Amino acid sequence: MTDAAVMEKKRRTEFNKLRKRLRRQVGQAIEDFNMIEEGDRIMVCLSGGKDSYTMLDILLSLQRSAPVRFELVAVNLDQKQPGFPAHVLPEYLAELGVPFHVIEQDTYSVVKRIVPEGKTMCSLCSRLRRGSLYTFAERNGMTKIALGHHRDDMIETLFLNMFHGSRMKGMPPKLRTDDGRHIVIRPLAYCSERDIEAYAAARQFPIIPCSLCGSQENSQRQAIKQMLRGWEKEAPGRLEKIFRAMQNVVPSHLADRDLYDFKGLRVREGAEDSQSVDWFPATGEERTDPLHET
């Protein structure tokens, strides 16, 4: 066997391992969170990036052997970004034989008009995009909306909310929208960005870069991404541990009084019941923060 043949065999073996791992992780996420049910009509949001291509590809693969029947409809939002190759996704999806729709809405001009030059556009762009997709889903009888966010996205969102929003809040694998009208699922919740990048490269998806926000390297999310990649480089497996921690929350060992009844804690047996005490009686003295007393 020639060196080239040996290398090709190794490449195929590695790809097969990667594909099986992604299939297993997506299947496990679907099962753990009951993402897909009998008769679902799932709107697969396809942006043209590596994540959404991989999501569609894996879902199509699982659909053929799934224990329930469900329909996949690929939907792309054409935001009218300058130079956007509008032909790429329709040609790709038509070749696959996947039902698809393209929503045309000029959110690009709206974002450019409202957001000052140099400021991060992602937040407003995301809100406008969600509004368009949710409206389409409701009008076309979609029972689930599938987004391509992966494990690393979910971890980044956790730290973004901690550092910039003072909230312990992430990006859930399954979500009911605030108005209660849509269920959003993230089938790639257990998949790492590194594996998705490798899979997309091996499958040679026709990637479409985002010219609106993809170049905003100074965004807060990019800073968080670089921090996490640094951690992973120093201690491989750290991101996996962080994600597992997100699945093993212990409210009694945090400090959210709405989530856990700290005031009502009492010893189990044999102790006298205590009454609530006003630790700051109206004496006219200034109240000080117990964590910052001088």
Verdict on whether the full-model pTM lies above 0.75: yes
How much is the pLDDT for 218? Answer: 54
HEC readout, the chain: CCHHHHHHHHHHHHHHHHHHHHHHHHHHHHHHCCCCCCCEEEEEECCCCHHHHHHHHHHHHHHCCCCCCEEEEEEEEECCCCCCCCCHHHHHHHHHCCCEEEEECCHHHHHHHHCCCCCCCHHHHHHHHHHHHHHHHHHCCCCEEECCCCHHHHHHHHHHHHHHHCCCCCCCCEEECCCCCCEEECCCCCCCHHHHHHHHHHHCCCCCCCCCCCCCCCCHHHHHHHHHHHHHHHCCCHHHHHHHHHCCCCHHHCCCCCCCCCCCCCCCCCCCCCCCCCCCCCCCCCCCCCCCCC
Per residue in 12-22, pLDDT (tens digit) is 999 999 999 99
Q: Which fold has domain 14-249?
A: Rossmann fold (3.40.50)
Select the highest-mean-pLDDT range: 21-35, 99-113, 218-232, 272-286: 21-35
Counting residues of the chain whose pLDDT is more than 90, the rounded percentage is 65
Q: 50-54, 61-65, 72-76, 81-85: which has the minimum mean pLDDT? A: 81-85
How much is the pLDDT for 294? Answer: 43
